[in-house]
Chains A and B, each alone.
Chain A
Amino acid sequence: MAAFLLRRLLAVLPVLWVVSVVVFLILRLAPGDPAAVIAGNNATSEDIAQIRSQLGLDRNLISQYGIWLGKVVQGDLGYSYYLGKPVLELITQRMEPSLSLALGTALLAVCVAVPLGTLAAWRMGGWLDRALSAFSVAGFSVPVFVIAYGLIYVFAIQLQWLPVQGYKPLFGAQAGSVWDWSRQLILPWLTLGTIYIALIARMTRASVSEALSEDYIRTARAKGIAERAVLLRHALANAAVPIVTVIGIGVALLIGGVVVTETVYAIPGLGSLTVDAVLNRDFPVIQGLVLFSPSAMCSSICWWM
């Protein structure tokens, strides 16, 4: 098993290499000049040229890529052009809010979607099943930020139960209590959870309903096993593989949602770092983020499996 996993993980490397080339090319062929952004509005063209040579932007494309890749292999993602800090440090600093958001959402979604999907498959065509498929279609049709503003409007502005935006860290100097932390995150979790629940519930329903039509289910029922055990131990257990796969692939969907959710709720995570980096043409940060976004890793692993 360990050898199998190791082989699979090694197989991810070529995919990541392609990712690195694609991202590098996209950004370097861009018309925007990071040196001009850093230099500001009053800079002379000599200033800009000097900044360009400091950043190594005056070298040719292949040697720029070579230098960057050589450092990445050693774990050095370079420095942010704009903030002057190591990219790795920026990413680790912003990791906690994004992980809190993404993991909380994933946990919430799995806890809600798997039971609902299983029950919908069990009573196919029943009211729960129909409600769930309506919810799934709707979940794929509403943009994340519309859900976000709908929730803010109801729970933060009208009812005033929860804060509108912001983030309280769980660790570090400004750490708050678990309650402070989760209070800030309830709305973001619900926001991001909607699509993810729709996705997982749909897959669970399909997968469990297929398992329920198998012969071993009939056999289990004929043996007089309790319906709950049939559903959980025979149907759901055998339907688990595609469900787990879709949870993994769905991480890519989550990442896109994280960018939007963090922007709406003013959460200082990787998503807002991405938006700032793009607006400032901060190439090393964008490269580092895309290359090491967990979804790049996860989805490439999933596809190779």
Chain B
Amino acid sequence: MATLQRRLWDHGSVRFGVAVLAFMVLVALLSPWLGTVDPAAMDANHINKAAGLAGEFALPDGQVVGHTFWLGTDNFGRDIYSRVLYGSRVSLVVGIATAVLALGLGGLCGMLAGYFRSVDMLLMRFMDGLMAIPAVLLAIALVAAMGANVATVVIAIAIPEVPRVTRLVRSLVLTLREEPYVEAARALATPTAVILWRHILPNAMAPLLVQGTFVAASAVLTEAILSFLGLGLPPDVPTWGNIMAEGRVQFSQQPGNVLFPALFLVPTVLAINLLGDGLRDVLDPKFAKRVG
């Protein structure tokens, strides 16, 4: 019986996912030192430069630095390479924070609904209602309502995911609460909160973690979609969606402004999805069988 780490590492898609994500996290953390300039800096002398040109870049404080425009510049004279690299920070933060928030809220609601029959009916009808609204529409309405900054975008993307997590956790808790060890804990007059926290939650953790990766992947996509529609983070924040939204107007002359951010976005989401598939295969074979 191989250890868990061993089995995870032996799974090809886990290895691929971890490698790509580790690369992206490194890029995001190290972006100031990877030959970038201020992502918001505009230089009127470098408007719509082709990719790969080297030249001098004038920073807002008047300083002039030698700089290679690896991915060209946009119609404001901003360096696409720097914007894409800094954009990875926003995307990763949104992905991780959304997953944590959706799992937290959904996990809590799911445990309450699964364990307390009295809450179940009301809470699940509410979740049904929430789930009936298409996720992107609900996220758009929420961002419109709360204004757009990183925190509200995370909340707006997480809330449509909550009902799905709730359903999953509820169904797990419904079976777990009948387990002998839970019955034993109840017989020993263990406080309900302790039963939920120490006996039920750890056993629901594996499917929850798998669900979390899928939430993170769709969060990165949804953030890009919101930004792309002009309904996400303000246009001056460098995010992959915003860079593509700004590149849209001159797509036929400068397709790179839309396609280069995609070269970062797509592998990131792909890596998270593959990691999720792999985790599901290893941690939760029953779930893998259920869903196919």
Residues of B within 8 A of A299 (CB): 131-132, 134
| Range class of the A interface residue count | 35 or more
Neighbour of B292 across the interface among A153, A207, A257, A275, CB < 8 A: A207
Indicate if the CB atoms of A15 and B228 lie closer than 8 Å.
Answer: no
Indicate if the CB atoms of A23 and B266 lie closer than 8 Å.
Answer: no
Mark interface residues in A1-36 (1 if CB within 8 Å of B CB, else 0).
000000000000011111101110011011110000
Within A39-55, which residues are at the interface with B (CB < 8 Å)? none
Indicate if the CB atoms of B132 and A278 lie closer than 8 Å.
Answer: no
Q: Given the interface contacts A15-B132, A278-B231, A300-B128, does A26 sit within 8 Å of B137 by beta carbon?
A: no
Indicate if the CB atoms of B134 and A252 lie closer than 8 Å.
Answer: yes
Q: Which residue of B lies closest to A260 (CB)?
A: B225
Indicate if the CB atoms of A256 and B135 lie closer than 8 Å.
Answer: yes
Neighbour of B251 across the interface among A14, A152, A202, A203, CB < 8 A: A152
Question: In the docked arrangement, what's the CA distance between A30 and B248, Å?
Answer: 29
B111 located at the interface, meaning its Cβ lies under 8 Å from any Cβ of chain A in the complex = no
Residues of B within 8 A of A207 (CB): 292
B119 located at the interface, meaning its Cβ lies under 8 Å from any Cβ of chain A in the complex = no
Neighbour of B133 across the interface among A19, A152, A164, CB < 8 A: A19
Question: In the docked arrangement, what's the CA distance between A259 and B142, Å?
Answer: 16
Q: Which residue of A lies closest to B274 (CB)?
A: A137
CB of B58 to closest CB in A, whole Å: 31
Residues of A within 8 A of B146 (CB): 30-31
Within A201-222, which residues are at the interface with B (CB < 8 Å)? 202-203, 205-207, 209-210
Residues of A within 8 A of B130 (CB): 18-19, 22
Residues of B within 8 A of A187 (CB): none
B277 located at the interface, meaning its Cβ lies under 8 Å from any Cβ of chain A in the complex = yes
Q: Given the interface contacts A141-B273, A260-B228, does A30 sit within 8 Å of B144 by beta carbon?
A: yes
Mark interface residues in B274-292 (1 if CB within 8 Å of A CB, else 0).
1001000000000000011
CB of A103 to closest CB in B, whole Å: 17
Indicate if the CB atoms of A295 and B134 lie closer than 8 Å.
Answer: yes
Segment at the A interface, from B27-35, B98-106, B255-263: B255-263
A138 located at the interface, meaning its Cβ lies under 8 Å from any Cβ of chain B in the complex = yes
A231 located at the interface, meaning its Cβ lies under 8 Å from any Cβ of chain B in the complex = no
Within A260-305, which residues are at the interface with B (CB < 8 Å)? 260, 263-264, 274-275, 278-279, 281, 286, 289-290, 293, 295-296, 299-300, 303-304
Within B131-157, which residues are at the interface with A (CB < 8 Å)? 131-138, 140-142, 144-147
Indicate if the CB atoms of A296 and B144 lie closer than 8 Å.
Answer: no
Indicate if the CB atoms of B132 and A16 lie closer than 8 Å.
Answer: yes
CB of B61 to closest CB in A, whole Å: 33
Query: Which of B125, B221, B274 has most chain A Cβ within 10 Å?
Result: B221
Report how many residues on chain B are interfacial, defined by Cβ distance under 8 Å: 45
Neighbour of A149 across the interface among B135, B141, B258, B270, CB < 8 A: B258
Indicate if the CB atoms of A26 and B129 lie closer than 8 Å.
Answer: no
Indicate if the CB atoms of A278 and B141 lie closer than 8 Å.
Answer: yes
B252 located at the interface, meaning its Cβ lies under 8 Å from any Cβ of chain A in the complex = yes
A145 located at the interface, meaning its Cβ lies under 8 Å from any Cβ of chain B in the complex = yes
Q: Which residue of B lies closest to A121 (CB)?
A: B292
Indicate if the CB atoms of B145 and A141 lie closer than 8 Å.
Answer: no
Residues of B within 8 A of A72 (CB): none
Residues of A within 8 A of B259 (CB): 146, 149-150, 153
Neighbour of A143 across the interface among B132, B138, B248, B265, CB < 8 A: B265
Residues of A within 8 A of B252 (CB): 157, 164
Residues of B within 8 A of A90 (CB): none
Indicate if the CB atoms of A286 and B132 lie closer than 8 Å.
Answer: no
A255 located at the interface, meaning its Cβ lies under 8 Å from any Cβ of chain B in the complex = yes
Residues of B within 8 A of A18 (CB): 125-126, 128-130, 132
A144 located at the interface, meaning its Cβ lies under 8 Å from any Cβ of chain B in the complex = yes
Q: Which residue of A lies closest to B224 (CB)?
A: A143
Residues of B within 8 A of A279 (CB): 230-231
Indicate if the CB atoms of A275 and B231 lie closer than 8 Å.
Answer: yes
Residues of B within 8 A of A150 (CB): 259
CB of A299 to closest CB in B, whole Å: 5
Residues of A within 8 A of B133 (CB): 19, 22-23, 290, 293, 296
B215 located at the interface, meaning its Cβ lies under 8 Å from any Cβ of chain A in the complex = no
Indicate if the CB atoms of A142 and B266 lie closer than 8 Å.
Answer: yes
B217 located at the interface, meaning its Cβ lies under 8 Å from any Cβ of chain A in the complex = yes
Indicate if the CB atoms of B132 and A303 lie closer than 8 Å.
Answer: yes
A-B contact pairs, 6 of them (CB 8 A): A26-B142, A140-B269, A142-B262, A149-B248, A152-B251, A290-B141
Known: A140-B217, A210-B292, A300-B129. 10 other contacts (CB 8 A): A14-B129, A16-B132, A23-B141, A29-B145, A30-B145, A141-B221, A252-B135, A278-B144, A289-B137, A299-B131
- Taking Cβ atoms with an 8 Å cutoff, the residues of A that contact B are 14-19, 21-23, 26-27, 29-32, 137-138, 140-146, 149-150, 152-153, 157, 164, 202-203, 205-207, 209-210, 252-253, 255-257, 259-260, 263-264, 274-275, 278-279, 281, 286, 289-290, 293, 295-296, 299-300, 303-304
